[in-house]
Amino acid sequence: MASPSPKSPEQSEKNKQYDRQLRLWGDHGQIALEKGHICLINATALGTEILKSIVLPGVGAITIVDDCTVSEEDIGSNFFLETSSKGLNRGSETLRLILELNPAVQGHAVQEPTGQILQENPDFFKSFTVVIATALGEKTIKELSQHLWDINVTFVLGRSVGFLGSFRIQIKEHAIIESHPDNEQPDLRLDVPFPALSQYLDSIDIETLDLKDHGHIPWIVIIYKAVMKWQKIQNDNRWPMSRKEKNEVRDLIREFIRKDENGIPINEENFEEALRAVTTALCPTFLPVKIQDLIYCSAATNLTKESSPFWIMCSALRGFIEAEGKGKLPLRGVLPDMTASTEHYVKLQNIYRAQAAFEAEAVYRKVQEIINQLHCDCISEADVKLFCRHAHNLHLVRGSSIASEYQSGPVASYIARHLEEPDVMMVHYILLRASEMFRSEHSRAPGDWEPEGDIAILKACVSKLLTDVSCPPFPKDDHVHEMCRYGGAEIHSVSAFLGGCIAQEAIKIITKQYKPVNNLFVYDGASTNTATFTF
Amino acid sequence: MSSGEVQTAEYLQRRWLNIRKLLERSGPFCHPDFEPSAEILDFTMNSCKILIVGAGGLGCELLKDLALMGFKKIHIIDMDTIELSNLNRQFLFRKNDIGLSKAKCAVEFVNKRVPGCEATAHHCAIQDMDDGFYRQFHIVVCGLDSIVARRWLNGMLASLLQYNDDGSLDQSSVIPLVDGGTEGFKGNARVILPGMSACIECTLDLYPPQITFPLCTIANTPRLPEHCIEYVKVLQWSKENPWGNTIPLDGDDPHHVAWVLEKAQERAMKHGISGVTYRLTQGVLKNIIPAVASTNAVIAAACATEVFKLASSCCVNMNNYMVLNIADGVYTYTFSAERRADCVACSNSTKVMALESDATLQTIYTKLCEDQLFMMKSPGITTIINGRNKTLYMSSIKSIEERTRDNLKKKITDLGLYNGAEILVADVTTPNTITIKLNVIENLDVDMPS
Ligand SMILES: [Zn+2]
């Protein structure tokens, strides 16, 4: 038998290779990723593990800045080095072996020390989407983080010592349209139905439907009818809110269920679903405070020619909410799946979709008005539609600089509060900081040669840090002792854990999808404990 | 290679200095039994045998992680060959490797990259190996995407347990299982000490139920693009047999996928449904789970850390189940999953099934498939009557299924089963036949003679 020839085109090679991740961030996420350029400072085990999980999914380009030569310990913990790499530049060697993972990625290696680049060519960092650094000295951390804050380039600082590790994301402002929440509340508008929805809901009479149709009407209709009946009984146009009222609605839904000749209720799946959906469906339509704050903040109300598309769309959104929207967000236009006949479901889905398109169009018109006034770059209708569809879950991150961790102020008192609790994960952060201070003073890691002798010196560093945040010294030396035991060792599996996390954070930032850590993450591989702090 | 005698012993090399600091020094948070010494690394390198199950997204990471954590005697087993869609995360493979054995490729790469590593590949199914094979390992790490295969492996390790005369567990027969799993941005890692802590079968309720579409929806009232694709897959393909009677639908054949896509689009158009795309079609046909390099890296690393702790005792293990979600920030939660005293796999007790006296064989079959304790796929049921083996029902072999199908409707008493009788059950989820004692309760409705 001859093969039926397919009309549809086969997927491209690239789509096949990236298929499993395109299902997470879509083609537009992939396009954004391929425009991203990552700079890694220091190709340690942690550094290369980060690069691995960014190069594999196909970031546009990477640049490694590293002036170290490869040591035997490097070869023991960094998979992207070979025995023959010993004595060569660590960044160049790592780059060569990591680019093998994905020929589509561009790569560069820079052998100058970071401090020197900061001095002589600070504009070097302007071309990167994200700068990631590992095993950085205290002085460079302060200088680099300040510089990247000033030029508004996102910075991620990773640390990995023994079983401990952390990363800190420094980002001034990061707006996320597609935050991909796990559980999204459906946007049904049963309490404030738009005309097309009202018309459809009113066109159905549950009582007179034949049995087959009765088992195929969507639960949206069932719940709406039950509420109408409830309001009639109450002789009140209130929306049922309390648990008691919702239970009364449920009782009315049960009354709708048809009975057989013996008076036993017939099992109708759509009515079962309606009973389960009462709580979500009766949730009244409202403008979330988070979104309200966003559209009335000064970035959205005082637009300039330099305002980003996000803020222009926020401003247009505010215009819509204050006018046509009557205080509500544009309709999302997504109908959850529910038992129904094809006809009912598709019809209802089209009603929601048409209304959402109509409202998004209104927002788009407002965007165009703003653009005409400001003479700034165009925003496509598709972008505005995407923005409106996700308007319920817009997310904005406003971060703080890493330099602020080294100054007295709100960050210091935040650290102090967690140390008073006492939060062991914050203690780990202090120890990671203290060992950096030790390193800057003694040019080696605490416990590098032998642990016991360094305990007192590291303890002094800890005390200094604690004094800076106005905290009493730790009652016990155990964490100081443990840090000296590590002796600055970088353990591959600990770095691989953090490397995977940091890589995904960088991808989130480049694609502007999913929420990144805000803004310090601490990991203890010994106790399998993690924590997030917001400085 | 020059002889090892004249050089420093490998475990004393500078290359391993990072790990040696952890193993040769004591600290305040060490495992109470930990005795720091250089011999520990010697043990992990030269004696400790590790089995990695699966050479996919997790397996590649695990092999790299363990090789760099000082393990040399690593075996890896996987029956799969390399596909293009693996390359976004299975970093030991290149385009030239497509079609080759995953296990062999992975081993070749790591042995070359990490000097001294002696990894061994097994390009076969886990079911092809017997208990003698599994018994040789000190620790098993599992990075599978199949729940059935994971359960089989868990059952295998549980079957290796031995008990002393007083009924207590012989600790030397315990082979720890470190298990990792990922799905998109979510994952989990756990440590199982078979017979001592919760095993896979103890915690079957942690797996989300599979989403299935009812046949009547697919056939009569489609609403979603997925329903249209399922229709072509389940009903239309076998009716039209586009490539001839003997050719089953292959989700990896782009011509097949294109055909399904076209037919599904026709059906969707007819019903006013939108959204049937190539990607969705392939996703439904192959039951594709999204996957990304980062999640696999994190979960594999968490598993590797636990293997390192088990082998070296340098630290207490996680207790005993960690969930991870990196979609919204980075979130982990570690909790102690509890053992089931009546676990089918890891308990030493007699398994009992309570039945009413009017129960049929179908009742037993349904319980085996749906009861949280068993959750079997296609159990074969036999019993011994008067010393002779009697097959009651078996669906896996067509001729036996046809011969035994009528038994399902029969009452258990009519099949010679009675209170205290034992049935023997075999299934793909377990390597061993499970013996279940029937506890037949007299039906309370029956009038008792006074
Ligand atoms: Zn168990």
Condensed to tens digits (0 to 9), the pLDDT of residues A332-367 reads 999 999 999 999 999 999 999 999 999 999 999 999
Inform me whether the pLDDT recorded for A205 exceeds 50: yes
Q: How confident is the model at residue B2 (pLDDT cuts 50, 70, 90)?
A: very low
The minimal CB distance from B88 to the residues A20, A45, A529 is found for A20
Q: Is B238 helix (H, G, I), strand (E, B) or coil?
A: helix
Q: Report the separation in Å between the CA atom of B159 and the middle of ligand 1, taken as the mean of its atom positions.
A: 11
A52/B294 Cα distance (integer angstroms): 9
Q: Would you call A532 and B330 a contact, using CB atoms and an 8 Å cutoff?
A: yes
User: Nearest-CA neighbor of A214 among A279, A143, A292, A269?
Assistant: A269
B197/B336 Cα distance (integer angstroms): 9
Q: Is B204 helix (H, G, I), strand (E, B) or coil?
A: helix
Inform me whether the pLDDT recorded for B4 exceeds 70: no
Q: Helix, strand, coil proportions of chain B in percent (round to 5)?
A: 40, 20, 45
Q: Is B325 helix (H, G, I), strand (E, B) or coil?
A: strand
Residues in chain B: 450
Question: Rounded mean pLDDT of A130-144?
Answer: 97
Q: Report the separation in Å between the CA atom of A264 and the middle of ligand 1, taken as the mean of its atom positions.
A: 42
Q: How many CB atoms lie within 10 A of CB B380?
A: 22
The minimal CB distance from B18 to the residues A338, A490, A529 is found for A490
Q: Would you call A485 and B26 a contact, using CB atoms and an 8 Å cutoff?
A: yes
Question: Rounded mean pLDDT of A492-496?
Answer: 98
Q: Report the separation in Å between the CA atom of B421 and the middle of ligand 1, taken as the mean of its atom positions.
A: 24
Q: Is B49 helix (H, G, I), strand (E, B) or coil?
A: strand
CB A156 within 8 A of CB A133: yes
Shortest CA gap B314–chain A (Å): 9
A273 and chain B: CB distance < 8 Å anywhere? no
Q: Are strands B351-356 and A154-161 parallel, antiparallel or unpaired?
A: unpaired
Residue in B25, B260, B266 to test binding to A, most A beta-carbons within 10 Å = B25
CB A283 within 8 A of CB A263: no
Contacts of A474 (CB under 8 A, 6+ apart): A427, A462, A466, A480
Delimit the CATH 3.40.50.720 region(s) of chain A: 16-175+491-533
User: Nearest-CA neighbor of A284 among A192, A391, A199?
Assistant: A192
A104/A58 Cα distance (integer angstroms): 7
Calculate what percentage of chain A has a pLDDT beyond 70.
Answer: 98
Q: Hey, what are B206's tokens?
A: 């942690």
Q: Is A417 helix (H, G, I), strand (E, B) or coil?
A: helix
Inform me whether the pLDDT recorded for A179 exceeds 50: yes
Contacts of B88 (CB under 8 A, 6+ apart): A17, A18, A19, A20, A21, A56, A57, A58, B291, B292, B293
Query: Looking at beta carbons, which residues of chain A come within 8 Å of B308?
Result: 493
The CA angle B134-B135-B139, to the nearest 5 degrees, is 75
What does the pLDDT read at residue B281? Answer: 96
Instruction: Give me chain A's average pLDDT, please.
Output: 95
A465/A407 Cα distance (integer angstroms): 11
Q: Report the separation in Å between the CA atom of A435 and the middle of ligand 1, taken as the mean of its atom positions.
A: 44
DSSP B301-313: HHHHHHHHHHHH-
Shortest CA gap A508–chain B (Å): 9
A534 and chain B: CB distance < 8 Å anywhere? no
Name beta bridge partners: A516: none
Residue in B68, B253, B274 to test binding to A, most A beta-carbons within 10 Å = B68
Q: Would you call B88 and A3 a contact, using CB atoms and an 8 Å cutoff?
A: no
The residue in chain B having the minimum alpha-carbon distance to the alpha carbon of residue A15 is B85
Element at B221 (helix H, strand E): none
Question: Rounded mean pLDDT of A47-68?
Answer: 98
Secondary structure letter of residue B15 according to DSSP: G
Q: Would you call B305 and A493 a contact, using CB atoms and an 8 Å cutoff?
A: yes
From the list B48, B216, B303, B369, the catalytic residue is B216
A240/A353 Cα distance (integer angstroms): 27
Q: Would you call B294 and A507 a contact, using CB atoms and an 8 Å cutoff?
A: yes
The residue in chain B having the minimum alpha-carbon distance to the alpha carbon of residue A3 is B243
Shortest CA gap B366–chain A (Å): 22
How far out from the chain centre does Cα B410 lie? 34
Inform me whether the pLDDT recorded for A394 exceeds 90: yes
The residue in chain A having the minimum alpha-carbon distance to the alpha carbon of residue B302 is A497
A8 and chain B: CB distance < 8 Å anywhere? yes
Residues 301-330 of chain B with CB under 8 A from chain A are: 301-302, 304-305, 308, 315, 318, 322, 326-330
What does the pLDDT read at residue B162? Answer: 96
The burial of A430, by beta-carbon neighbours within 10 Å (0-12 exposed, 13-18 middle, 19 or more buried), is given as buried
Q: Report the separation in Å between the CA atom of B342 and the middle of ligand 1, taken as the mean of its atom positions.
A: 8
A494/A383 Cα distance (integer angstroms): 40
Q: How confident is the model at residue A421 (pLDDT cuts 50, 70, 90)?
A: confident
Q: Would you call B89 and A181 a contact, using CB atoms and an 8 Å cutoff?
A: no
What does the pLDDT read at residue B6? Answer: 53
Inform me whether the pLDDT recorded for B450 exceeds 50: no
Secondary structure letter of residue B101 according to DSSP: B
Q: Which CATH architecture has domain A16-175+491-533?
A: 3-Layer(aba) Sandwich (3.40)
What does the pLDDT read at residue B359? Answer: 93
Q: Which residue shows structure tokens 């040399």?
A: B72
The minimal CB distance from B318 to the residues A57, A72, A528 is found for A528
User: Nearest-CA neighbor of A39 among A122, A126, A103?
Assistant: A126
**pLDDT tens-digit readout, B61-104:** 999 999 999 999 999 999 999 999 999 999 999 999 999 999 99
Tell me how far apart the terminal alpha carbons of chain B are, to the nearest angstrom. Answer: 90
Residues 100-159 of chain B with CB under 8 A from chain A are: 113-115
Q: B30 an active-site residue?
A: no
Phi/psi of residue A114, each to 5°? Answer: -60, -40
Phi/psi of residue B319, each to 5°? Answer: -120, 100
Q: Would you call B184 and A58 a contact, using CB atoms and an 8 Å cutoff?
A: no
Q: Report the separation in Å between the CA atom of B130 and the middle of ligand 1, taken as the mean of its atom positions.
A: 21
Q: Which residue shows structure tokens 């691989």?
A: A496
Contacts of A242 (CB under 8 A, 6+ apart): none
Angle subtended by helix axes A19-35 and A492-511, to nearest 10: 70
Please, what's the b/e burial string for A359-393 (b: 16 or more CB within 10 A of its CB; e: otherwise)?
bbebbbebbeebbeeeebeebeeebbbbbbbbbbb
The tally of CA atoms less than 13 A away on the side-chain side of residue B231 is 23
Phi/psi of residue B328, each to 5°? Answer: -120, 100
Q: How confident is the model at residue A183 (pLDDT cuts 50, 70, 90)?
A: confident
Q: Would you call B68 and A447 a contact, using CB atoms and an 8 Å cutoff?
A: no
What does the pLDDT read at residue B1? Answer: 44
Element at A45 (helix H, strand E): helix A45-55
Instruction: Give me chain B's average pLDDT, please.
Output: 94
Q: Report the separation in Å between the CA atom of B379 and the middle of ligand 1, taken as the mean of its atom positions.
A: 19
Residues lying with their CB under 5 A of ligand 1, a single-atom ion: B 199, 201-202, 343, 345-346
Q: Would you call A493 and B334 a contact, using CB atoms and an 8 Å cutoff?
A: no
A27 and chain B: CB distance < 8 Å anywhere? no
Query: Looking at beta carbons, which residues of chain B come within 8 Å of A509?
Result: none
CB B331 within 8 A of CB A515: no
What does the pLDDT read at residue A5? Answer: 52
B404/B407 Cα distance (integer angstroms): 6
CB B145 within 8 A of CB B289: yes
Q: How confident is the model at residue B444 (pLDDT cuts 50, 70, 90)?
A: low
Residue with the larger pLDDT of the pair A219 and A1: A219
Inform me whether the pLDDT recorded for A137 exceeds 90: yes
* Whether residue B287 has a cis bond before it, omega within 30° of 0: no
A100 and chain B: CB distance < 8 Å anywhere? yes
B180/B192 Cα distance (integer angstroms): 11
Q: How confident is the model at residue A211 (pLDDT cuts 50, 70, 90)?
A: confident
Residue in A493, A524, A532 to test binding to B, most B beta-carbons within 10 Å = A493
Question: Rounded mean pLDDT of B184-206?
Answer: 96
Residues 322-351 of chain A with CB under 8 A from chain B are: 337-342, 345-346, 350
A463 and chain B: CB distance < 8 Å anywhere? no
Inform me whether the pLDDT recorded for B372 exceeds 70: yes
Q: Would you call A505 and B330 a contact, using CB atoms and an 8 Å cutoff?
A: yes
Q: Would you call B185 and A162 a contact, using CB atoms and an 8 Å cutoff?
A: no
What does the pLDDT read at residue A409? Answer: 87
CB A285 within 8 A of CB A339: no
Q: How confident is the model at residue B9 (pLDDT cuts 50, 70, 90)?
A: confident
B174/B194 Cα distance (integer angstroms): 6
The residue in chain A having the minimum alpha-carbon distance to the alpha carbon of residue B255 is A6
CB B71 within 8 A of CB B116: no
Residue in B223, B252, B321 to test binding to A, most A beta-carbons within 10 Å = B223
CA distances from A326 to A292, A319, B209 (A): 14, 10, 42
Q: Is A349 helix (H, G, I), strand (E, B) or coil?
A: helix
Shortest CA gap A350–chain B (Å): 9
ipTM, 2 decimals? 0.96
